[in-house]
Amino acid sequence: MSINYLYFIPIYILIFIMIYYLSNYLNLVDKPNIRKKHKVKSFYTGGICIALAFYLSIKFFSFEINLSKIFFYSSIFLILGFIDDCKSIKTGNKLIWQIFIIYILINQGFVIQDLGKFNFGMLALGEFGFVFTFICVLLIINSFNYTDGIDHLASSIFITTIFTLFLINEKILFENLDFFINLLFILIIFSFFNKGIFLKYKVFLGNGGSMMLGCFLAFLCIYITQISKYIHPSQLIWSLAYLVFEFNTIFLNRIILKQKVTRPGRDHLHYILLGIGFKRISVLFLINFLIVFFYFIGNLIFNKFGPIMSLVFFVLFQLIYFLYWFKLKKWKS
């Protein structure tokens, strides 16, 4: 590993400390609600810390231009999330701003144009690709926001998901080593502040931070399937399986129960597992294990049976996930 990376670690830490004290001075405190039961004073500026630290690294390292673009435009969500954390934006207005930010990236050429090559040829989406891109990115952003309920969960899911992408095709890592190593260092530093190890109070991602990471992950997947062609789309979806299955399951369950689908709640898998007696560290392990498990199963299916059966089994596993999630939820009740 180049020593250049190590030079930046104390600088990244200093950025986090500066934002920490500024957050304390401005009283940028994450307020408890139906989902958030924390009793310790916590700040919602973790996403801002991550973005500022990474902006600094962009100045000193030669990152792939498309990855830098994705991160830069994804960080616009920090503004939306900051306002939402301060004053709570209505769901409809938040959705409009999400669509606007996504449109900026789509306008930069990050759009799902096809679902890959199958036995019958390339499955092109044509003009529907724009609509499909909006749907997929919104799903990943909001499903990622769902995961930001307990310490380390969102950031660990982000790291584990990207790790599975590296396992599918190591070129993603080796051709962009500086980018991902710096991002990893920054996220590890965030995890210490998120736990409250360095200083007295905790630092959370905030709505902006979770939406930023979700947006980055979504468009990273578009980049590696549509532009760089590192991975076939029907293979990549297995790395996103947990996020997709969890979001669809909660959405469908709330529709069935005639509940507002956008409301905050404690019907997410991590809360269900906590409710039936699992400790937080066990929940972190189990959910990240699920991500890796889906990756291995999905890649086995893709390599053995091809892309069509990969899509078929993906839908089947969504059904299985819903059934087991429902059983766990009943057990909790």
Buried b / exposed e along 206-221 (16+ C-beta atoms within 10 A): bbbbbbbbbbbbbbbb
Tokens at 220, concatenated: 């990273």
pLDDT in tens, 297-321: 999 999 999 999 999 999 999 999 9
Q: Supply φ then ψ for residue 160, to 5 degrees.
A: -65, -40
Percentage, residues of the chain above pLDDT 90: 65
DSSP 8-state class, residue 62? -
Q: What is the pLDDT of residue 15?
A: 95
pLDDT in tens, 135-151: 999 999 999 888 877 88
Residue 31 has pLDDT above 70, yes or no: no
Query: 1 falls in which pLDDT band (50, 70, 90)?
Result: very low
Average pLDDT over residues 105-109: 93
Residue 34 has pLDDT above 70, yes or no: no
pLDDT in tens, 84-97: 888 888 888 889 99
Query: 201 falls in which pLDDT band (50, 70, 90)?
Result: confident
Whole-angstrom Cα distance, residue 24 to residue 329?
A: 38
Whole-angstrom CA distances from 234 to 26, 170, 238, 247, 311 are 46, 18, 8, 19, 6
Q: Which of 248-252, 266-270, 299-303 has the highest mean pLDDT?
A: 299-303
What's the count of helices (H) and strands (E) in the chain, helices before strands? 15, 4
Query: 332 falls in which pLDDT band (50, 70, 90)?
Result: low
Least confidently predicted of 163-167, 201-205, 300-304, 311-315: 201-205
Q: What is the pLDDT of residue 325?
A: 85
Domain ranges of the chain: 3-332
Contact call for residues 55 and 68 (beta carbons, < 8 A): no
Tokens at 44, concatenated: 């919602």
Contact call for residues 307 and 116 (beta carbons, < 8 A): yes
Contact call for residues 61 and 179 (beta carbons, < 8 A): yes
Q: Which of 284, 135, 141, 140 is nearest to 208 (CA)?
A: 141
Helix (H) or strand (E) holding 142: helix 128-146
Average pLDDT over residues 230-255: 94
Query: 40 falls in which pLDDT band (50, 70, 90)?
Result: low
Q: What is the pLDDT of residue 6?
A: 78
Query: 33 falls in which pLDDT band (50, 70, 90)?
Result: low
Residue 186 has pLDDT above 90, yes or no: yes
Q: What is the pLDDT of residue 39?
A: 56
